[in-house]
Each structure stands twice: as structure tokens, then as C-alpha cells.
Amino acid sequence: EKSGYKHFMAKEIAEQPVVLADAQAHYIKDGNITLPVDLDFSAFDRVTMVACGTAYLACLTAKYWFEQIARIPVEVDIASEFRYREPPVPARTLAIFVSQSGETADTLAALHYAKSQGATILSVVNVTESSMARDSDMSLPILAGVEVSVASTKAFTCQLSLLLLLALKASSDRGAQSTEQVQSYLAHLQKTPALVSQSLNVGDAVKEAAKLVAEAQDILFLGRGAMFPLALEGALKLKELSYIHAEGYASGELKHGPIALIDKHVPVVVMAPRDALFEKTISNMQEVMARGGKVLLISDAAGIAEAGQGVWSTITMPEIEPVFAPILYAIPAQLLAYHTAIAKGTDVDQPRNLAKSVTVE
Ligand code: F6R
């Protein structure tokens, strides 16, 4: 049921404030994290996260959170690489497998490998009656509700929200942050659904930008820190929906090669919440502009006032505590892909060559 929306993708983008709030209500009670599984991060020295596609990008984002908030080392792998590389899995490893469907063949095979090596297996899934949920030691549902659109949207933000909650749990269990600090993070996390709701208002600005983006042959997305995986996600969504060639880069990598691609035909989407790395990202953005690149700057009002002079286009986001920015900045990334697909007339819910659940490798 599309409930009045033109596409499942539009419906699922719009549902995010509600599903995020419901999922958080499920896992946070009276300001405390309540998990339905017996998970104590003090039993682990490291975390390995494995997934495919958008779920992999949620893992890459979560690496920043686990490392910065809980000070626990994290490795992230693409499932198809992990399963055949057969990496050593040290004792006291928590292996987390993230999958909307819970059926992705490579992720499931990677899970079985980690299990055979004695790791403790946690799956983070949307479909609770799935092979991954069944074969794990513990499984946590992201509670996004049924996702029909092939392009993952609400499952991604719900994965992010739950993984951030797990990073906070890890921080408590390991004593990496004070109780007050963890509670303040939790209070901020609970404000994200309302901010996501507010950020859905950028639709019209994104629609305008999408008309121009639809004309491009190549597009770059740039971000630093936890916004780097978001740049990858923006590029993945745009590729799969509009068939335009898009790449995400860590802003600091620009001058190590990709800057050679910049000319006036290449739009560059800069994802720049006002965090500790804002000035660095902006200086990379200026290097792009100096070479004639067309910049689409996504930041909050103050960030755009500070750095928006001379850019091609801007998208103004609500202000947010930087740690939570990846959840919020997923919205313009999704909307840009959606509106570019509409402008190009491609099949939004069922892009060519793609399947919702990849059960063969
Ligand atoms: C992208 C997308 C895919 C999936 C990937 C993993 O929008 O939907 O990249 O994220 O195929 O699927 P799951 O999460 O079911 O393992």
C-alpha cells in the first residue's frame, strides 16, 4: 500500500520520523537502554561488522561511533570479501552482521564463517523471521517496518539509530563515558526523529537541485569523518536510482587523485554539518570551486552563511549535535536520488538490474 504516495520510496522516506521514534521507544525506557538480549560489551575486546551495500555503509558510519564513543576497535568488511578472505577472528570478538532482509547470501555466509571461528554473533535485521536472525547468538530488530522500495531508506536510518544505541551501550559497559554523558547522548538521540521530520522540508530545494543533477554524467559526494560513509551512501543511492555515475570520497582524499575529475560539468555534493572538521571540509570544497566545480553544499543555516558564497546551490538542514548528523544527512541524500530519478523518468521503486533481496552471490 502506497497510502497516497507516488512511490514506495517516497512513502518510506516520509515514514522515517515515526519508525525512528517507535524503534527508540522500544529500546530506551526511562532514559536507559533496554535490550531484549544479554549483551555485555565488557566481554569483548573488538567488534567486527560485516554487511553489503547500504547496510555496509551503516556499519562504516557506526565504526566512527564505536571507536569515538566507546573506544573499542572496530573492523568493517564487505561480506563478499570477508567470506572468502577468511580472516583470523581473535578471541573476545563480537561479530555484528547488519541486513535489512536477513537473507543476503554473502552476509549469511560471512556470518556462518565467523560462527565457525568462535566469534559471538549478533545480527541486526529488519526481517525478524530471517536466516540471519535464526543463525545468530543474538538478534536485534531495527523495527523499520516492511521496506518495499529496492533502494533502502528507512532501514538505513533505523540501522544507524540502533547501531548508535549499541555504541552507547558499549560505552556504558566499558566505562568509556560517564553515566551522565551517555544519558545526554540518549536524550539527543531521542530528538533526532523530530529533526528528521524537519529535514523532510528540504524536498523543494532538493527538487530544484535534482533538475540540474539529472543533466550530469558524473557526480562526486564529499564528506569527512562519519560523513564520509554518508557521501558513499549518497553516491550509491544516486547511482542505483538515476543511473548517473556517482562516487563518494573522503574530502581529504580529493587531492590524491579525484580532483583531476573536476570541471564545470561535474556537480560536487558536499555534506558538511558544522562539526569539528567543518573548516577542513570547506577548504576542500574551495579547492573544488577554484577548479570550476559546481558545488551543492548541504549544511545548516550558520554553515551556509559562513561558507555558501559562490556555491552553485545549497540545502539548509536543521542544526544538530554533530554525532547525530549522519542520521539527519541521510535524508537529503535519499531525496536527491529520488528527485533525480523522477527528473530522469527512471523506475524509482524497481531500478533496472537490482533485486530487493540478493539471495545468490
Ligand atoms: C541499496 C540497497 C542495497 C542493500 C544490500 C544489502 O539501496 O538496498 O545495497 O543495502 O543489497 O541488503 P540487506 O540489507 O537486505 O542485506
* pLDDT number for residue 105: 97
Segment 248-264 shows an average pLDDT of 94
Residue 352 has a pLDDT of 85
- Write the single-letter amino acid at 166: L
Using pLDDT thresholds of 50, 70 and 90, give the confidence band for residue 32.
very high
**CB of 159 closer than 6 A to ligand 1?**
no
- For residue 109, the Cα-to-chain-centroid distance in whole angstroms is 23
Q: Are 212 and 313 spatial neighbours (Cβ–Cβ below 8 Å)? A: yes
C-beta 358 within 6 A of ligand 1: yes
Q: From CA 83, how far away is CA 114, in angstroms rounded?
A: 9
Written as nine digits, the cell of 332 is 537529503
Mean pLDDT, residues 122-130: 98
Amino acid identity, residue 326? P
* Residue 52 CA, ligand 1 centroid: distance in Å: 6
Supply φ then ψ for residue 296, to 5 degrees: -105, 105
Burial class (CB in 10 A: 0-12, 13-18, 19+), 255: exposed
What percent of the chain has pLDDT above 90? 94
Task: Decide if pLDDT at 234 tops 90.
Answer: yes
**pLDDT tens column, 34-83:** 999 999 999 999 999 999 999 999 999 999 999 999 999 999 999 999 99
Looking at residue 122, its pLDDT comes to: 98
Judged by DSSP in three states, 272 sits in: coil
Mean pLDDT, rounded, of the chain: 96
Q: Give yes or no for a contact between 218 and 261, defined as CB atoms under 8 angstroms apart.
A: yes
pLDDT > 70 fraction of the chain, expressed in percent and rounded: 100
Mean pLDDT, rounded, for 304-319: 96
Measured in Å, residue 44 CA sits from the centre of ligand 1 at 28
pLDDT digits (tens, 9 = 90+) for 75-102: 999 999 999 999 999 999 999 999 999 9
pLDDT in tens, 168-204: 999 999 999 999 999 999 999 999 999 999 999 998 9
Amino acid identity, position 220: L
**CB of 123 sitting under 6 A from ligand 1:** no
When pLDDT is cut at 50, 70 and 90, the band that residue 347 belongs to is: confident
Fill in the amino acid letter for 284: N
Whether the per-residue pLDDT at 357 is higher than 90: the answer is: no
Quick one: which atom of ligand 1 is closest to the CA of 151?
Answer: 7
Tell the residue nearest (CA) to atom 5 of ligand 1: 53
Distance 55 CA to ligand 1 centre (A): 6
- Within 262-324, residue ranges assigned H as helices are 278-290, 301-307
29 carries an active-site annotation: no
Residue 248 CB less than 6 A away from ligand 1? no
The model's confidence at residue 361, banded by pLDDT at 50, 70 and 90, is confident
Residue nearest to atom 4 of ligand 1 (CA): 53
User: What are the residues whose beta carbons fall under 8 Å from the beta carbon of 185, sequence distance 6 or more?
Assistant: 69, 168, 177, 323
Do 235 and 53 contact (CB within 8 A), yes or no? no
The pLDDT of residue 355 is 85
305 alpha carbon to ligand 1 midpoint, in Å? Answer: 36
Which protein residue has the closest C-alpha to ligand 1 atom 10?
54
52 CB less than 6 Å from ligand 1?
yes
Residue nearest atom 7 in ligand 1 by C-alpha distance: 151
